[in-house]
Structure 1
Amino acid sequence: MSEKTPVTTAIRFLRLKQLAYTEHLYTYEEKGGTAVSARELGVDEHCVVKTLVMEDEKKQPLLVLMHGDKEVSTKNLARLIGCKTITPCKPEIANKHSGYMVGGTSPFGTKKTMPVYMQNSILALEKIYLNGGKRGFLLGMNPADVKSSLNATLVNAATD
């Protein structure tokens, strides 16, 4: 693909932190999710990490980083972080908190600073692919760099 990669807020954040990443453009498909991006990049969907904007019972937003082929147990996550409930934000609310459009949400350079919770098994992967701040644009990174740059809390909140 000869298209020029975008310079998003996420890219600016990573450059500022001097973190290594690779850029991967692909043809975005509405409602395709991580299955499409994994197929387009030729990688295992387990290595594609989705960034989910959720909120607690007080409407306080938070980010969850989860394997593309797994779902978040919001009940387990709430218990782990000491909340009554955790629910996914409506797309328009998620967009407002993150500054990104759903389908292009990056955990880097969000509009609002939010706590980040990362599925602990992500750290076992050699390389992960997360959204670069635009639909159809993923970044390949070392998961330890992701954890440290976001000050992410490790959790085990994946459903089986």
Structure 2
Amino acid sequence: MKKEEKTNVMRVLDGKKIVYESHAYNPDATMSGEEIAEILGEDPDKVFKTLVTQGKSGAYFVFVVPVKEELDLKKAAKAAGEKAVSMIKQKELLPLTGYVHGGCSPIGMKKQFPTFIHETADKYDHIFVSAGKVGFQIELSPADLISVVNCKPADIV
């Protein structure tokens, strides 16, 4: 484990007085979300990844799904009210969100985009999402995440 440092995500949560627990790990560039869940000693159903898409209209949308699941682009488009959505290119992620691949969080993006979280999140007291930097995760209640980023639960996998 690395020495604890504050990420932008943690500063946002502190500013909103949201209770969370941070977790640091030594990342490997090829590490999957399921491997991160294993390092954290957590059920992969409770560890969520953040995916950024662009709709046919040109609008951007954020989807938060369990790490072992794949985003269903048709269901995602339906949730977003778009004809279709596609994943953005990796090189577009940093300029658009302020986050790098593997460290993208739904919290604290440069601009808040419409965000959807997989409907299973509310089955848990706490879930994990990226803390905005590779090697850092935060654990918080799904209700707190939903309130901070105003995300909507949806069937998206």
TM-score (normalised: structure 1):
0.93
> Is there any run of 5+ residues in structure 2 with no aligned partner, and where?
none
Task: Note if contact 1:27-1:40 (Cα within 8 Å) is conserved in structure 2.
Answer: no
Find out whether 1:24 has 2:23 as its counterpart.
yes
Q: Which digits, 9 at most, give the CA deviation of each residue in 1:83-104, with x for residues without a partner?
A: 0111111111122211011100
The alpha-carbon deviation at position 6 of structure 1 amounts to: 2.4
Give the structure 1 partner of residue 151 of structure 2: 152
> Is there any run of 5+ residues in structure 1 with no aligned partner, and where?
none
Find out whether 1:122 has 2:121 as its counterpart.
yes
Once residues 74 and 31 of structure 1 are traced to their aligned partners in structure 2, the CA distance between those partners, rounded to angstroms, is 24
The alpha-carbon deviation at position 33 of structure 1 amounts to: 2.2
Once residues 56 and 94 of structure 1 are traced to their aligned partners in structure 2, the CA distance between those partners, rounded to angstroms, is 15
- Aligned identity (percent) is 28
The alpha-carbon deviation at position 37 of structure 1 amounts to: 0.7
Paired residue type of 1:156 = D
Report the secondary structure of 2:109's partner residue.
coil
Once residues 141 and 45 of structure 1 are traced to their aligned partners in structure 2, the CA distance between those partners, rounded to angstroms, is 15
Once residues 101 and 58 of structure 2 are traced to their aligned partners in structure 1, the CA distance between those partners, rounded to angstroms, is 18
The alpha-carbon deviation at position 60 of structure 1 amounts to: 1.6
Task: Note if contact 1:5-1:25 (Cα within 8 Å) is conserved in structure 2.
Answer: yes
How do residues 53-132 of structure 1 correspond to structure 2 at under 5 angstroms?
Answer: 53-132=52-131
Paired residue type of 2:33 = T
The alpha-carbon deviation at position 55 of structure 1 amounts to: 1.0
- RMSD in angstroms over aligned alpha carbons? 1.1
Once residues 18 and 36 of structure 2 are traced to their aligned partners in structure 1, the CA distance between those partners, rounded to angstroms, is 22
Paired residue type of 2:11 = R
Paired residue type of 2:38 = R
Q: Which digits, 9 at most, give the CA deviation of each residue in 1:57-89, with x for residues without a partner?
A: 133211101011111111112123220111111
Aligned length: 157
- The answer to which of 55-64 and 18-27 deviates more is 55-64
The alpha-carbon deviation at position 26 of structure 1 amounts to: 0.9
Once residues 7 and 59 of structure 1 are traced to their aligned partners in structure 2, the CA distance between those partners, rounded to angstroms, is 33
TM-score (normalised: structure 2):
0.95
Report the secondary structure of 1:65's partner residue.
strand
Q: Which digits, 9 at most, give the CA deviation of each residue in 1:93-144, with x for residues without a partner?
A: 1222110111001111101221111111111112111100110100011111
